[in-house]
Structure 1
Amino acid sequence: MTPRPLALSLGDPAGVGPEIVTKAWRALRGAPSPFMVVGDALVLRAAPGGAAPVRVVSGPDEAARVFAEALPVLDLPAAGPIVAGQPSAAAAPAIVRWIETAAGLALSGAVGGVVTAPIAKAPLYEAGFQFPGHTEFLAELTAAGGQDGARGPVMMLTAADLRVALATIHEPLARVSSLLTIEGIVNAGLVTAQALRRDFGIAAPRLAVAGLNPHAGESGSIGREEVEIVEPAVRALRDLGVEAFGPKPADSLFHAEARTTYDAVLCLYHDQALIPVKMLDFWGGVNVTLGLPIVRTSPDHGTGFDIAGRGIAREDSLIAAIRLAGEIAARRG
């Protein structure tokens, strides 16, 4: 039986998205999990780095049939000319439409999940986009809600044998302490544990929770957040059946031996999570959105406007994102 394809939204067409998408198709055209691009066929035909045969298709079923011979595209053209390296607000309505269409196909069950190529926020904001980014927009489109009252979305990054989830995401460091709450950490921990069971096949997930301060606060002598927020949250997670432990000093959580003691780390701010992921596998990291009713992954990098159109963008992270989305979709059945 031919598996349902994934829907891959093209992202900002002036970035590296078209190039890495065509390169990913060449690498994966013989793989068991096909994908269909939701985007602009003309832009893909002009992508640098070696052209891929592009086939405009009417939907996922046709995409699955032609995937081995051509890159299938659900063609929704962008307005105006697209110039590599020069983002424009004129393309924003098409970019939004591509995401909405991919999410709708996943919600209907027509595709197995969504992979999103990178977007740039500034041109979207200029055109009136109201969301901080992909994650929040997809949560709105899918009315994200999890089991046991936990709600997504939660951002997880994966690289090699490391998985990190975030309690806060793109927040100024000066605000992180005031944004941390017992309820927020518990929610993120529940969503992460549920995803580890459902999407990663881990029957009894172990969740390490990082501290905020140096040495995890030294029992309150270097900050009170661990004593007043993180420790009660860990206790609550354990009471709810999650094998959580912490707070643990972040400086000793990510070496090889430590990574054998947990299945994921719940980190409290952006760089605490992203630095170890990118140190471990800079080119192959994947962003996974937990707590959605659909599968969603993306490469762990941006639009690369500075190198767009030059044929030198690396497709490693997108390939890893496509493969992981296919694995998760297969587990969800």
Structure 2
Amino acid sequence: MIEALIAGERDPHLLAGLARGVPRHKHEDLVAACDGRFTATHAAMCRLHLDAYDHTTGKIAELDGLVAEAAAAFEPVITRLMTISGIGRRTAEVIVAETGADMSRFPTPEQLTAWAGLVPGNRESAGKRRRAVTRKGNKHLKAAMVEAAWGASRTRSRIGARLRRLVRRFGRQHAKKAAVATAHTLLRVCWAVMARGEDYREDGGDFYDRREARQTHYLAARYQKDPGTPRLPGHPDRTRPRPGTSSRPPINQRNRQPEIPQASGRSHHHDRAHRSRLPIYCSLPRDGQDPSFVTARIRCPPEADKAAALDALITDHSVTLARSLQRQDRLTVR
């Protein structure tokens, strides 16, 4: 239409017929817009703008050719990155250009996201962590990942579902905050794809709904009295006693008090995996109280007995304290 105006065409109906795309459905509005005064000065200015646009487009095409030539060695990595929702060829080239596609420099995805600046900043004072903006990082990679997160929000994928969930949680006024958090997740996915050398396997837009359903089923079954409680894949069975032991601690025949089992030589996480994981809250003695008195408040279901709660209190870092309190008859289980 602009080329026809520069050539001297002034018929509004003919100019409106040259429209392409969505404006074709607004023929009457285009006729009204083209019916006006268009002088030779306007034609000269339009010619200057079109020449500048053509020049810029040509330079962009030349740069695209140079980038494609430099990225030819990384074509397999770019192809794998393009399997991720929201990431196109331009974004994949930015990721490869900024990271080098060598994840040996970033042993963990946390280090990559921190280097890119997609993690909260450190704002701590007197032991209190306050709300902070994202830290400084690679601005090119950060901008590309946030743009990719916005693009994935329109897809029925796991990344899009995460952004929509975060927007509902934070509120629409904090949609940009949700986009940065989704960009963090997206960059972690890119790290896994580049580190493992595998294509991305889409989990679907209902990934989080299915995960919540599994967790709800597991938690509902965990607090049942049935010893055959099903477990989630990869989770240890914390509802059954350890092999060779009873549900209650052994009884010392001399003083008839529960005996605190000895701490095993296994790691802290492996030892706690077989115990009943109940939330424990320990309160230190206040002013005027006996300094050796410590109250351990354990939140547990009504059907759980005190012996199981006491066993949950025994961890690798509190065995000595629990023994001393038991000998002094100052261990209180609520």
Give the TM-score normalised by structure 2: 0.25
Q: Which has the larger radius of gyration?
A: 2
Q: Larger strand proportion, structure 1 or 2?
A: 1
Q: Larger helix proportion, structure 1 or 2?
A: 2
- Bigger RCO of structures 1 and 2 (CA < 8 A, at least 6 apart): 1
